[in-house]
A and B are shown apart, each in its own frame.
Chain A
Amino acid sequence: MSAKDEILSRIRSALADTPATEEVPREYRTTSDMNEEQLIELLVDRLVDYKAGVEVIEAAQIPEFVAAKLKDAASVVYPQGLDTAWLSALGQNVEQRVDAPGARLSVAELDATSAVVTSSAVSVAESGTIILDGQPDQGRRAISLVPDHHLCIVPISTIVQLLPEAMPRLSITRPLTWISGPSATSDIELERVEGVHGPRTLDVLMVRGL
């Protein structure tokens, strides 16, 4: 018998008492009644708690804030679908690299890049979680992982309070990355240290009117 057949037959005999299934009681919260200002306040509070840098700005201010956050970066990578106007105020000294299908940066090139700018799909205020789902303005997973500084745009229109509100907005067939970070460890005497292998700096621009 193949391993598969044998395991399945073991399962059948283990469940010979035919245990009943029950309707899942989904009485947990699935909708919130927070207004936009409350959502912003909650998400800012959570992200600051995780030691991320956060600014709440208007759409027109994006280029100015992107330039300010990246003023010390030598180079920045962005996914092909990102609105390049956002990078328009970057200084001449910051080299811009685009990661595009058919023209991917190698891992070594990403490793030699200081920062990355991406957008995001949905954010959950209650847990301080920003979700990237690989759409063209967020790019493939490696670009938001290897550079040491991640600057992430969160359109305020994409913030929800609860995780169950975020789920229907995600396309599961794309790889998802949930970020409630930056990267951190508490493995040595439980002392929290930000930044191990993922980007050590996470800056979030929460944008109105986007």
Chain B
Amino acid sequence: MPAGGQGNLFETEPFPKAAHRELGNTQMRKNLRHATHTIRDKRLKVVGELPDWEALRDAGSTIKNNSMATLEERLLEFEKNFTARGGVVHWARDADEANKIVTELVKATGSQEVVKVKSMATQEIGLNEHLEAEGIDAFETDLAELIVQLGHDKPSHILVPAIHKNRTEVRDIFLSQMPVVDPNLTDEPAKLAEAARAHLRKKFLAAKVAISGANFALADTGTLGVVESEGNGRMCLTLPETLITVMGIEKVLPHWEDVEVFMQLLPRSSTGERMNPYTSLWTGVTEDDGPQNVHIVLLDNGRTRALADRFGRSALNCIRCSACMNVCPVYERTGGHAYGSTYPGPIGAILSPLLTGIEVEENGSLPYASSLCGACYEACPVKINIPEILVHLRGDDVDAKREKHKLPTQMDLLMKGGSWALGKGKNIGLLEKALPLGRLAAGKDKKIKKLPGIAAGWTQSRDIPAPPNKSFRDWWSDEKESM
């Protein structure tokens, strides 16, 4: 089994615990509810405009499956073409190695600071913290990332990372953290965007080094692509002398023409727009245009581990559109912070444990962070069957724990109990006889606040109504007698 990923891929605390705390954050829940509902309504509208949406999903999903099935070949082809056009390719086994490569590249330029365009890969490996420790300042330039960075906070959504902050909070962060800012700054979004523009303009114009992620890499041309809205991406990709891109190895697509599929699927699934304002594509170095010193770091960090899981490998097809989190009832209530990892929501619940390995204690609870309602699967533009993978990972988790304890765990017993109860009508009847006992467990308000053992997790963040004083079976037979 290939090595697991490291970096920001772990639950910082078990999901039930984090979720319990986050549920108390009513502001965040309100913002999030508004955001997820707005984006998903927009998404439905623009997706409905395309008569061939399902055909695009089929193409997208097959292209990705093929890419993963021939990954070695694709990566080598990409390397050959990118290199032939003047780019330099680096390979990184894990977060540590990637951070070291980037740091050395930055140091070689003699620069003490870098501008960055939003990149989940660099967030995954904790690049900013690493650079800081090495005396290099990394400036996030995406408005939301800037808010998160200045607020010493963490992103909570992969598309709108600062969605848990409202305008007044953003203004307060800007006022206290920007070195030069109009003290009369209002909380109008247009004014706040202008403040961000002024704050970053000098940085863009003077930057010698930029760091980006990539939405895709094309094997047959050696091209990289970045999809964005604000123009900070274009600034980073165009003005500095050195451009360093950090990209997961799963982002490679076989052919140039595959772009036509993903550029229809991604913006509509993601922001609910027909197209994002800006997309940049570059192939190595172009003489006289843009950075002349161009690098890419191809990152494994657990991706080969996920690839080895034949039920889970399709999680690597994810194009990070965030549609699954916008429709997820669990995410809507807990928000992104509860997942701990860089990748929140339904995709995070499978991707993080696949990258690190489910037997890693810190990710054992993520596959349970779902009601298995299937909304994510329906929304996913590349048809990742998230519920199926969740169930498969739950099975792996139970196996891993059994392996460790060698004794039947509470979960095993519960499962056994379940099959005993459901196996025979008589058995469930016996169980139901015990219902009045449940009423004793409930308090005066007729709610059970705490269940014992492993089931306690269920009651940590919610109350269960007390069972009725009579089972349906008993009620039925009583009724029949009196009929």
* Interface window among B301-309, B339-347, B367-375: B301-309
Residues of A within 8 A of B71 (CB): 11, 15
Q: Which of the residues B39, B70, B275 comes within 8 Å of A180, measured between beta carbons? A: B275
In the complex the two chains form, what is the Cα distance from A108 to B231 in whole Å?
17
- Is there contact, CB below 8 Å, between A7 and B281? no
- Is there contact, CB below 8 Å, between A190 and B38? yes
Q: A3-22: which have CB < 8 Å to B?
A: 3-4, 6-8, 10-15, 17-22
Q: A26-B59, A28-B55 are in contact. Are A185 and B193 (CB under 8 A)?
A: yes
- Is there contact, CB below 8 Å, between A189 and B234? no
What number of A-B contacts does a CB cutoff of 8 Å give? Answer: 245
A35 interface hit (Cβ, 8 Å): no
- Is there contact, CB below 8 Å, between B261 and A28? yes
Residues of A within 8 A of B62 (CB): 22-25
Q: A128-B274, A187-B160, A193-B190 are in contact. Are A10 and B300 (CB under 8 A)?
A: yes
State how many angstroms separate the Cβ of A51 from the closest Cβ of chain B: 10
B143 interface hit (Cβ, 8 Å): yes
- Is there contact, CB below 8 Å, between B91 and A175? no
Q: A166-196: which have CB < 8 Å to B?
A: 166-167, 172-191, 193, 195-196
A64 interface hit (Cβ, 8 Å): no
* Nearest-neighbor residue (CB-CB) of B286 within chain A: A175
Per the CB 8 Å criterion, the residue count for chain A at the interface is 73
Q: Which of A8, A13, A29, A197 has the most CB of B within 10 A?
A: A197
In the complex the two chains form, what is the Cα distance from A179 to B279 in whole Å?
7
In the complex the two chains form, what is the Cα distance from A36 to B457 in whole Å?
62
B175 interface hit (Cβ, 8 Å): no
B249 interface hit (Cβ, 8 Å): yes
A107 interface hit (Cβ, 8 Å): yes
- Is there contact, CB below 8 Å, between B263 and A163? yes
In the complex the two chains form, what is the Cα distance from A17 to B257 in whole Å?
28
- Is there contact, CB below 8 Å, between A167 and B277? no
* Nearest-neighbor residue (CB-CB) of A165 within chain B: B260
In the complex the two chains form, what is the Cα distance from A141 to B230 in whole Å?
15
Residues of B within 8 A of A97 (CB): none
Q: A14-B304, A193-B189 are in contact. Are A172 and B97 (CB under 8 A)?
A: no
Residues of B within 8 A of A166 (CB): 260
- Kindly supply a per-residue 1/0 record for chain A positions 65-101, scoring 1 wherever the CB is within 8 Å of any chain B CB and 0 otherwise: 0000000000000000000000000000000000001
* Nearest-neighbor residue (CB-CB) of B264 within chain A: A163
- Is there contact, CB below 8 Å, between B304 and A175? no
A149 interface hit (Cβ, 8 Å): no
State how many angstroms separate the Cβ of A4 from the closest Cβ of chain B: 4
- Is there contact, CB below 8 Å, between A27 and B52? yes
Residues of B within 8 A of A26 (CB): 59
In the complex the two chains form, what is the Cα distance from A210 to B234 in whole Å?
29
B416 interface hit (Cβ, 8 Å): no
Q: A172-B281, A175-B283 are in contact. Are A25 and B229 (CB under 8 A)?
A: no
* Interface window among B11-19, B197-205, B376-384: B197-205
- Is there contact, CB below 8 Å, between A15 and B69? yes
Residues of A within 8 A of B6 (CB): none
- Is there contact, CB below 8 Å, between A198 and B55? no
Residues of B within 8 A of A199 (CB): 231
* Interface window among B162-170, B425-433, B447-455: B162-170
A46 interface hit (Cβ, 8 Å): yes
Q: Which of the residues B34, B160, B260 comes within 8 Å of A186, measured between beta carbons? A: B160
Per the CB 8 Å criterion, the residue count for chain B at the interface is 97
Residues of A within 8 A of B267 (CB): 127
Q: Which of the residues B63, B141, B259, B273 comes within 8 Å of A197, measured between beta carbons? A: B141
Residues of A within 8 A of B51 (CB): 29
B68 interface hit (Cβ, 8 Å): yes
A142 interface hit (Cβ, 8 Å): yes
* Nearest-neighbor residue (CB-CB) of A199 within chain B: B231
- Is there contact, CB below 8 Å, between B59 and A21? no
Residues of A within 8 A of B446 (CB): none
B472 interface hit (Cβ, 8 Å): no
Q: Which of the residues B66, B238, B281 comes within 8 Å of A142, measured between beta carbons? A: B238
State how many angstroms separate the Cβ of B49 from the closest Cβ of chain A: 8
State how many angstroms separate the Cβ of B60 from the closest Cβ of chain A: 9
15 A-B residue pairs with Cβ-Cβ distance under 8 Å, sorted by A, are A10-B305, A13-B308, A14-B313, A15-B71, A18-B69, A28-B52, A127-B264, A141-B234, A142-B239, A167-B260, A176-B281, A187-B144, A188-B192, A189-B167, A197-B232
Interface, chain A (partner B; CB < 8 A): 2-4, 6-8, 10-15, 17-29, 46, 50, 101, 104, 107-108, 111, 124, 126-129, 134, 140-142, 145-146, 163-164, 166-167, 172-191, 193, 195-199
Interface, chain B (partner A; CB < 8 A): 2-3, 31, 34-35, 38-39, 51-52, 55-56, 58-59, 62-63, 65-66, 68-72, 75-76, 85, 90-93, 97, 141-144, 147, 160-163, 166-167, 170, 189-190, 192-193, 196-197, 200-201, 204-205, 218, 221, 223, 229-232, 234-235, 237-239, 249, 256-257, 259-261, 263-264, 267, 271, 273-283, 286, 288-290, 298, 300, 304-305, 307-308, 310, 313
Q: In the complex, given contacts A178-B279, A193-B193, what are 8 additional A-B residue pairs having Cβ atoms less than 8 angstroms apart?
A: A3-B97, A19-B310, A29-B52, A134-B289, A140-B288, A177-B279, A187-B147, A188-B167
